[in-house]
Amino acid sequence: MANNTSKVVHLRRKDGVSDALQRIALEHEPALRRFVGARLSAHPDHEDVVQETFLRVARQENVEERLSRSLDSVRSYLFSIATNIIRDRYRKAGTRQKYDDLTRYRARAHGVESSAEEVVSAQEQLADVKAAIMKLSPECRDAFVLNRFEGLSYREVADTMSVSVSMVEKHIMRALAELRRHVDRG
């Protein structure tokens, strides 16, 4: 299943950032690998995505500032980059209508989802997603947008809202449930 041998990512940058990157890689690589593994379920692209995430971080302009934030938020940041990489790959595969590995894998998971109407329905879906977010209860909505758009970790959201982490977790689950209900049935 998931490749658990911890391969150290080698990152080079001349401006002295590489130490910070190396440290980040050591600290977060197992968690990132686990995250990507759980998103792609041991798909062969798995290792690629982990490597590319660190490469993208290395290319960021404000990398030092980014990496000096709290642990939770660095991890959130890495996860959102990895999410984008996964999405980019999926999208490219979709527009080319190529049934490469990832598309086929995804198509199996979603049923029919790479047809021509898909592009149109993605727009509609996005509008539905937005409507669903707007309709969430204020507490639940705050927790979701702070996490999703402000990039705050659950703990940071909890600290910002002065509630417990487990409360934030409940809000996040509730928000996901509402997205699903609204987009797929509403």
Write out the residues near other proteins by the rule CB under 8 A.
1-2, 23, 27, 31, 34-35, 37-39, 41-42, 70-72, 75-76, 79-80, 83-84, 86-87, 106, 109-111, 122, 125-126, 129-130, 133-134, 141-142, 145-150, 153-155, 159-167, 169-170, 172-173, 176-177, 179-180, 183-184
In the complex, the smallest distance separating the C-beta of residue 106 from other proteins, rounded to whole angstroms, is: 8
The whole-angstrom separation of Cα 68 and Cα 56 is 17
Q: Which is nearer to other proteins, 84 or 97 (CB)?
A: 84
Under a CB-based contact definition with an 8 Å cutoff, are residues 73 and 153 in contact?
Answer: yes
In the complex, the smallest distance separating the C-beta of residue 132 from other proteins, rounded to whole angstroms, is: 9
In the complex, the smallest distance separating the C-beta of residue 45 from other proteins, rounded to whole angstroms, is: 15
Q: Which is nearer to other proteins, 51 or 160 (CB)?
A: 160
In the complex, the smallest distance separating the C-beta of residue 165 from other proteins, rounded to whole angstroms, is: 4
Positive/negative CA dihedral, 164, 145, 46, 120: positive
In the complex, the smallest distance separating the C-beta of residue 61 from other proteins, rounded to whole angstroms, is: 18
Q: Which is nearer to other proteins, 14 or 104 (CB)?
A: 104
Under a CB-based contact definition with an 8 Å cutoff, are residues 3 and 47 in contact?
Answer: yes
- Residue 139: φ, ψ to 5°: -60, -45
Q: Which is nearer to other proteins, 14 or 151 (CB)?
A: 151
Residue located via tokens 């792609």: 40
In the complex, the smallest distance separating the C-beta of residue 24 from other proteins, rounded to whole angstroms, is: 10
Q: Which is nearer to other proteins, 1 or 8 (CB)?
A: 1
Question: Where does residue 85 rank: exposed (0-12), middle (13-18), buried (19+ CB within 10 A)?
Answer: buried
Q: Any residues with CB less than 8 A from the CB of 54 and at least 6 apart, and which?
A: 9, 11, 21, 24, 25, 29
Q: Which is nearer to other proteins, 14 or 75 (CB)?
A: 75
Question: What does each C-alpha distance from 65 to 56, 70, 72, 156, 174 come to in angstroms?
Answer: 15, 11, 14, 17, 33
